[in-house]
Chain A
Amino acid sequence: MSGAGHATRHWRNQRISAIALVLLGGWFLFSLLSLPDPGFDSVRAWLAAPLQSALMLLFGWSALWHSAQGVQVVVDDYVPGAWHGRARWASRLLHLAAALAVAWSVWVLAQGAPA
């Protein structure tokens, strides 16, 4: 169980990530779907631009952060007993692993398209 104060912070952070995702999610969807084609060259050219790769990192991280916050609420509501803590930690670790994978990918993509 989280201590007093954690719940307020969680509630506030969930709204912060939600507001960020309204903008970043819209950016991601329209940028991706506006590509002339979803092929390797188009995607690498798109995400080689500094601003675009920065936005992709922000989008990926906010999406995973918001996802972790949402899963925590669901776990708090539906998973009782000993599995409650395990489920929360499993979700955190999976989301953290995904966030690291996103960071590594975006870093590679920002180096530019391969010749």
Chain B
Amino acid sequence: MQAPAPAKAPATLPVRPLSPHLQVYRLALTTVLSGLHRISGLVLTLSTPFLVAWLVAAACGADAYASAARFFGSWPMRIVLAGLIGVFWYHLFNGLRHLAWDAGYGFGLARARASGMAVIVLAGAAFAATLALTPAWRWLLELP
């Protein structure tokens, strides 16, 4: 297929065909899930300082840990941490979907849609189970 040449390409840049970008496509479930995989991964990356700070505080002693506990126990952080549990499960299940593709399974539009729906259901169920089956919900709601 012949790519249309840009009308006025700057002389210094090589003229290359451009692939159509996001706005050309109608948004589909698979597109949204694909974007969410990268976004959820970046969110988890941005949350690694919380993990490191929590470990370092525990290693430093009771006073440092008490400061960290006050920070993590504040209401904005409770909401953030609860959200991170959901982000974690989404990235995990969609990551398994990617691993299946890498191994050569699950191709085709219908199967990609079905596995995408499965990821949403499983991530939601795991999120609910994590909060319901552990003492986490008591801590998140500040119950004794």
Chain A residues proximal to chain B, CB less than 8 Å: 15, 18-19, 21-22, 25-26, 29-30, 33-40, 43-44, 47, 56, 60, 63-64, 67, 70-71, 74, 98, 101-102, 104-106, 108-109, 114
Query: What residues of chain B lie closer than 8 Å to A37, measured between beta carbons?
Result: 135, 139
Per the bound structure, the CA–CA distance linking A36 and B144 in Å amounts to: 11
A-B contact count (CB 8 A): 86
Query: What residues of chain A lie closer than 8 Å to B58, measured between beta carbons?
Result: 40, 43-44, 47, 105, 109
Per-position binary interface string of chain B over residues 5-41, scored 1 when its CB falls under 8 Å from any chain A CB and 0 otherwise: 0000000000000000000000000000000001001
Known: A29-B85, A36-B135, A43-B65. A18 touches B52 (CB 8 A): no
Interface residues on B, range: 20 to 34
Per-position binary interface string of chain B over residues 45-80, scored 1 when its CB falls under 8 Å from any chain A CB and 0 otherwise: 100110110011011011001100100100000000
Interface status of B92 (Cβ within 8 A of chain A): yes
Chain B residues proximal to chain A, CB less than 8 Å: 38, 41-42, 44-45, 48-49, 51-52, 55-56, 58-59, 61-62, 65-66, 69, 72, 85, 88, 92, 95-96, 98-99, 102, 130, 134-136, 139
Which one of B48, B59, B65, B102 lies within 8 Å of A64 (CB-CB)?
A: B48
Task: List the 7 shortest-distance A-B pairs measured between CB atoms, nearest first.
Answer: A33-B134, A108-B59, A105-B55, A105-B59, A33-B136, A40-B65, A67-B45
